């Protein structure tokens, strides 16, 4: 131990400066930890000071102590949640006791000799809500630690956390003292978009490593903080004033919350108190951010969680201002894999095809970011718990979008198994590429048209690379959803024209705006509806507010520049709705003609069949419609009365359930009888066995995500559709609930490539 014994009861600033000196000195990790426990014990006038660090996810290890039996260092281990120390790590909150051995949950560890110490105070060593260890002081005399002392120890723990992050405590063969974020980490999330990727982490929010966690001059640090707050407030006010978002809506709500926090005196004062205690401004912000994140883990109310997320975002902004760093790394590595808590669609589009993969801590299958990832054909894993806390910029990461998994800092075994998977996939891709220009014809000569779904310019390169024969569903609302204001007439028609240009002579079916339900435009007043999926949406909204729909007709007609045009209406539930919308379109065509604008040389007007009622519409509807497209996502939700966004009920009903399949067959027969072309464009058309069953039921056109075209074409070319139908019929006759088991068993028996 050092010769010059530090004085007792020093203020935390002096203590922090001593810690900083230790960080600056040459030395082994163990030596540093020993010195730290020694000076903390002295300056807090305590008999014991100990540091426990995380050995792994579940275990803490005593790594240094002043006052307990030195033999127990690296021997004493306890589980997170066990004893007072384990409880601190689990709850990320300080614990104090005047008579520790009598305290609830106390666990006696005889090898440490701690039974003689009655008073106990422990605080988490945490960084950004992640507990790296526990710092404890103990004394023989019963002693009540003051609020001030607790706060002081928390501040000290913050600096120890920053030191750990900088790798100040590493030592050979000491797992608990290895630098955090060096071990392999595995996240099991959900599939957002299929595909695999190998690359390096790029954090959407910067992970800032602070090299000097201790303030030299608190006044200077407070001034820096104050300036950062001012910049932050100006930024937010500017965003609020920008007229493009000066409408009521979700964005504004978030910005208002930002503004409230940015002006919140309590929040800022707490940071100033930490600075007075000796922390640098950045670490003071991080200390508050840690508290926010700890609270976030506990809060279940979705509204409060959102607000805590806002506060977390705001802390990130403050940190960026303080460190003068911009969020999105301008120079991304070649193999960038974006890791984020969540990301907006526009931000994801900004990164664009430069990304090899995306891993999100939150996100949902139907989210707009997922739609963009799909359009860009980037593998996406969502709901990957803790990934933003574990990942550091530049870490190696493997993304398995097929299984919804992410391996961070993988070890060699995991990596080699993964690389095998990548190689197999590449082989399959080569096979699909070889089929690209061949038709999908079954061995008994039935021809199926395979088209793709799209909605963004980013989708269109896939039209050629996938071999799609057209765009069976162009979701026009995506352009509206990604924006903070209604796209101008000109922008709309430019986009549609570019889509038609890119498609060349392949047909594109534009669907008019399908908004409402889960597709809420940020700049439109949100309707308070008890059941939005059954509410005022799509064609209902279009007919009641014809201005927007008319504008869309006009922009589509103008974009066609005389080329043929295919337009369909979403969510038609009865004949009249189709007839009225169609008439509006015909009127608009007439008006354009009168203005002597070029009009399409051929217009086909169709309807999506997404409600069971439309399948039973009068024959006149089927005669009037130029084509029908089955929107299976909605149709299935209404057929089974099971919310498509609710994972719990969604998976309960199989698409190949006999009732549903019979229904699809009936629609195909009806259309065939009247001569109305019919296709299927829901997500299920992109699943190979489902697509095969639809084809066997008589559907001749399927529209799907581009990545599915290759595998589905390969399957169709492998099978006899007549025999497929016979297998389905036998399963139906035998009373099976779903034809899937029988169909899959048969496909396996003939060695068919299905997924
Ligand atoms: C559908 O419902 O199947 C469909 C294609 O429309 P969306 O998924 O856009 O609602
Ligand atoms: Mg739909």
**Does the pLDDT of residue 1 top 60, yes or no?**
no
Backbone φ and ψ of 624, nearest 5°: -75, -35
Reported as a pLDDT band with limits 50, 70 and 90, residue 324 is: confident
Say which CATH class 185-207+328-418 falls into. Answer: alpha beta
Ligand 1 mean position, distance from CA 753 (Å): 27
Q: Which whole number is the average pLDDT over 134-157?
A: 91
- The atom number, within ligand 1, closest to the CA of 475 reads 9
DSSP 207: -
Q: How many residues does the chain have?
A: 755
Residue 467, pLDDT score: 94
Res 247 pLDDT > 70:
no
Query: What is the pLDDT, as a whole number, of residue 162?
Result: 87
User: What's the CA-to-centroid distance between 509 and ligand 1, angstroms?
Assistant: 14
Residue pair 570/477 in contact (Cβ under 8 Å)? The answer is no
The strand order across the sheet containing 130-139 reads 77-79, 59-66, 48-54, 130-139, 119-127, 95-97
CA of 682 to the centre of ligand 1 (A): 6
Question: In ligand 1, which atom is closest to the CA atom of 637?
Answer: 2
pLDDT of residue 10 exceeding 70: no
Q: 655 C-alpha vs ligand 1 centroid, how far in Å?
A: 15
Q: Which of 218-232, 330-344, 457-471, 530-544 has the lowest mean pLDDT?
A: 330-344
Concatenated DSSP letters of 213-271? -B-S-HHHHHHHHHHHHHHHHHHHHHHHH-GGG-SSSHHHHHHHHHHHHHT-HHHHHHH
Supply the pLDDT for residue 675: 98
Instruction: Give yes or no for a contact between 573 and 565, defined as CB atoms under 8 angstroms apart.
Output: no
Average pLDDT of 170-185?
Answer: 81
Residue 398 has pLDDT above 50, yes or no: yes
Of the pLDDT bands very low, low, confident and very high (cuts 50, 70, 90), residue 332 is: confident
Enter the tokens of residue 496: 């549609």
Instruction: Tell me which H or E stretch contains 124.
Output: strand 119-127
* pLDDT tens track for 574-633: 999 999 999 999 999 999 999 999 999 999 999 999 999 999 999 999 999 999 999 999
Q: Say which ligand is closest to the CA of 472.
A: 1
- Look at ligand 1, atom 7, and give the residue with the nearest C-alpha: 633
pLDDT (mean) for 416-432: 92
In 404-506, at which residue ranges do the beta strands (DSSP E only) sit? 405-408, 440-441, 447-454, 471-475
With CA atoms as reference, report the closest residue to 627 among 558, 692, 569: 569
* pLDDT for res 132: 92
Which whole number is the average pLDDT over 706-728?
97
**Topology annotation, domain 436-749:** TIM Barrel (3.20.20)
Which H or E run contains 135?
strand 130-139
698: CA distance to ligand 1 center in Å? 21
- Could you tell which of 366, 514, 519, 538 is best to mutate to test the pocket of ligand 1, judged by most ligand atoms within 8 Å of the CB? 514
Nearest to 29 by CA among 172, 134, 136: 172
- With beta carbons less than 8 A apart as the criterion, state whether 501 and 534 touch: no
Q: What is the fold of 12-177? A: Beta-Lactamase (3.30.450)
Q: What is the mean pLDDT of the chain?
A: 89
How far, in Å, CA of 378 to CA of 361, rounded? 16
User: How many Å apart are CA 474 and CA 471, to the nearest integer?
Assistant: 6
Pocket test for ligand 1, best of 610, 638, 645 (most atoms within 8 A of CB): 610
Q: Name every protein residue with a CB atom under 6 angstroms from any ligand 1 atom.
A: 473, 475, 514, 610, 631-634, 681-682
pLDDT recorded at residue 104: 83
Which one is predicted more confidently, 686 or 20?
A: 686
Q: What percent of the chain has pLDDT over 90?
A: 61
Share of the chain above pLDDT 70, in %: 95
Half-sphere exposure of 527 (CA within 13 A, CB side): 16
The band of 249, judged by pLDDT with boundaries at 50, 70 and 90, is very low
What digits encode the pLDDT tens for the residues 345-375?
777 887 888 899 999 998 877 677 787 888 8
CA of 564 to the centre of ligand 1 (A): 24
pLDDT above 80: residue 714: yes
CA of 637 to the centre of ligand 2 (A): 10
Beta-strand relationship, 627-630 and 603-609: parallel
DSSP letter, residue 87: H
Confidence band, pLDDT 50/70/90 cuts, at residue 248? very low
**Segments making up each domain of the chain, as ranges:** 12-177, 185-207+328-418, 218-323, 436-749
Q: Residue 137 pLDDT > 50, yes or no?
A: yes
Q: What is the DSSP string of 311-366?
A: HHHHHHHHHHHHHT--SS-SS--TTEEEEES---HHHHHHHGGGEEEEEESS--TT
The token duo for 606 is 């169709």
Which of 682, 701, 708 gets mutated to test ligand 1 (max ligand atoms within 8 A of its CB)?
Answer: 682
Task: State how far the Cα of 434 lies from the Cα of 528, in Å rounded to an integer.
Answer: 51
- Give dist(CA 666, CA 663) in Å, integer: 5
Q: Find the mean pLDDT for residues 484-508.
A: 92
375: nearest Cα among 345, 405, 397, 340:
345
Mutate to test the pocket of ligand 1, among 371, 608, 679 (most ligand atoms within 8 A of CB): 608
The two beta strands, 440-441 and 396-400, are unpaired
What's the first-to-final CA gap in the chain, in angstroms? 66
Distance 633 CA to ligand 1 centre (A): 5
Average pLDDT over residues 410-431: 93
Nearest CA to ligand 1 atom 1: 631
Using alpha carbons, select from 86, 82, 108, 84 the residue that is nearest to residue 96.
Answer: 84
Stretch 170-174: mean pLDDT, rounded?
A: 81
The residues, any chain, with a CB within 8 Å of residue 251's CB and separated by 6 or more, are: 245, 484, 522, 523
**Residue 243: partners with Cβ closer than 8 Å, 6 or more residues away:** none
325 — pLDDT class (breaks 50, 70, 90): low
Whether the model pTM is above 0.75: no
Burial class (CB in 10 A: 0-12, 13-18, 19+), 3: exposed
DSSP-based three-state secondary structure for 44: coil
Lowest mean pLDDT among 28-42, 227-241, 731-745: 227-241
* Residue 751 zone, left/alpha/beta (φ > 0; ψ -120 to 50; rest): left
* Distance of alpha carbon 265 from the chain centroid: 32
| Choice between 27 and 303, residue whose per-residue pLDDT is larger | 27
CATH topology of domain 218-323: Enzyme I; Chain A, domain 2 (1.10.274)
**Range 83-104 average pLDDT:** 91
246 has a pLDDT exceeding 50: no
**What residues are paired with 738 via a beta bridge?**
657
The Cα 475–Cα 265 span in angstroms is 46
């Amino acid at each position: 131990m050092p010769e010059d014994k530090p004085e007792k009861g020093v203020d935390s600033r002096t203590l922090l400066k001593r810690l900083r000196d230790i960080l600056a000195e040459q030395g082994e990790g163990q030596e540093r930890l020993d010195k730290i426990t020694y000076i903390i014990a002295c300056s807090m006038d305590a008999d014991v000071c100990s540091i426990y660090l995380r050995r792994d996810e579940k275990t803490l290890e005593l790594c240094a102590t002043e006052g307990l039996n030195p033999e127990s260092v690296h021997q004493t281990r306890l589980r997170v949640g066990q004893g007072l120390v384990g409880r601190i790590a689990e709850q990320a909150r300080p614990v104090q006791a005047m008579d520790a051995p009598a305290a609830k949950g106390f666990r006696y560890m005889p090898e440490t000799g701690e039974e003689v110490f009655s008073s106990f105070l422990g605080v988490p060593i945490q960084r950004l809500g992640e507990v790296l260890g526990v710092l404890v002081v103990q004394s023989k005399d019963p002693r009540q630690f003051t609020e001030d002392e607790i706060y002081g120890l928390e501040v000290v723990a913050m600096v120890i956390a920053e030191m750990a992050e900088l790798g100040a405590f590493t030592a050979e063969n000491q797992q608990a003292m290895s630098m955090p974020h060096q071990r392999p980490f595995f996240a099991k999330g959900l599939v957002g978009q299929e595909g695999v990727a190998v690359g390096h982490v790029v954090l959407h929010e910067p992970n800032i490593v602070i090299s000097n966690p201790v303030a030299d001059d608190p006044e200077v640090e407070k001034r820096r903080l104050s300036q950062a707050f001012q910049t932050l407030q100006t930024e937010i006010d500017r965003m609020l004033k920008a007229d493009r978002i000066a409408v009521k809506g979700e964005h504004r709500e978030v910005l208002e919350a930002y503004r409230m926090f940015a002006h919140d005196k309590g929040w800022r004062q707490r940071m100033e108190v930490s600075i007075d205690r000796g922390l640098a401004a950045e670490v003071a912000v991080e200390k508050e951010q840690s508290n926010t994140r700890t609270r976030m883990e506990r809060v279940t109310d979705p509204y409060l969680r959102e607000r805590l997320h806002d506060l977390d975002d705001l802390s990130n902004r403050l940190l960026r201002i303080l460190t003068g760093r911009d969020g999105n790394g301008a120079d991304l590595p070649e193999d960038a894999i974006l890791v984020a808590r969540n990301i907006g669609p526009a931000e994801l589009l900004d990164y664009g095809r430069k990304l090899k993969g995306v891993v999100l801590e939150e996100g949902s299958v139907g989210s707009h970011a997922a739609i963009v990832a799909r359009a860009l054909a980037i593998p996406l894993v969502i709901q990957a718990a803790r990934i933003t806390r574990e990942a550091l910029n530049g870490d190696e990461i493997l993304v398995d979008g097929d299984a919804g998994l992410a391996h961070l800092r993988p070890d060699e075994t995991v990596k080699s198994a993964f690389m095998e998977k990548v190689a197999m996939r590449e082989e399959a891709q080569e096979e699909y590429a070889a089929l690209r220009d061949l038709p999908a014809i079954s061995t008994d000569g039935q021809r199926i048209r395979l088209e793709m779904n799209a909605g963004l310019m980013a989708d269109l390169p896939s039209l050629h690379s996938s071999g799609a024969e057209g765009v069976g569903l162009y979701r026009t609302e995506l352009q509206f959803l990604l924006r903070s204001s209604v796209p101008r007439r000109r922008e709309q028609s430019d986009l549609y024209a570019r889509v038609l240009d890119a498609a060349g002579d392949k047909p594109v079916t534009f669907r008019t705006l399908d908004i409402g339900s889960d597709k809420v435009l940020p700049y439109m007043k949100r309707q308070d509806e008890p059941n939005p999926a059954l509410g005022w949406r799509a064609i209902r909204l279009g007919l009641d507010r014809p201005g927007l729909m008319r504008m869309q007709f006009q922009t589509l007609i103008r974009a066609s520049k005389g080329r043929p045009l295919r337009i369909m209406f979403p969510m038609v539930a009865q004949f009249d709705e189709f007839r009225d919308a169609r008439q509006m379109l015909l009127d608009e065509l007439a008006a354009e003609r009168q203005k002597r604008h070029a009009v399409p040389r051929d217009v086909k007007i169709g309807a999506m069949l997404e409600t069971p009622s439309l399948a039973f519409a009068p024959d006149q509807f089927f005669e009037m419609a130029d084509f029908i497209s089955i929107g299976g996502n909605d149709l299935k939700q209404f057929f089974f009365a099971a919310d498509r966004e609710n994972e719990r009920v969604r998976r309960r009903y199989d698409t190949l359930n006999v009732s549903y399949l019979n229904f699809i067959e009936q629609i195909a027969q009806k259309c065939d009888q009247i001569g109305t072309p019919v296709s299927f464009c829901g997500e299920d058309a992109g699943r190979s066995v489902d697509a095969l069953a639809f084809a066997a039921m008589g559907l001749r056109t399927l529209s799907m995500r581009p990545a599915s075209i290759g595998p589905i074409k390969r399957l169709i070319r492998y099978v006899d559709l007549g025999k497929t139908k016979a297998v389905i019929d036998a399963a139906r006759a035998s009373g099976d609930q779903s034809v899937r088991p029988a169909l899959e068993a048969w496909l396996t028996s003939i060695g068919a490539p299905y997924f």
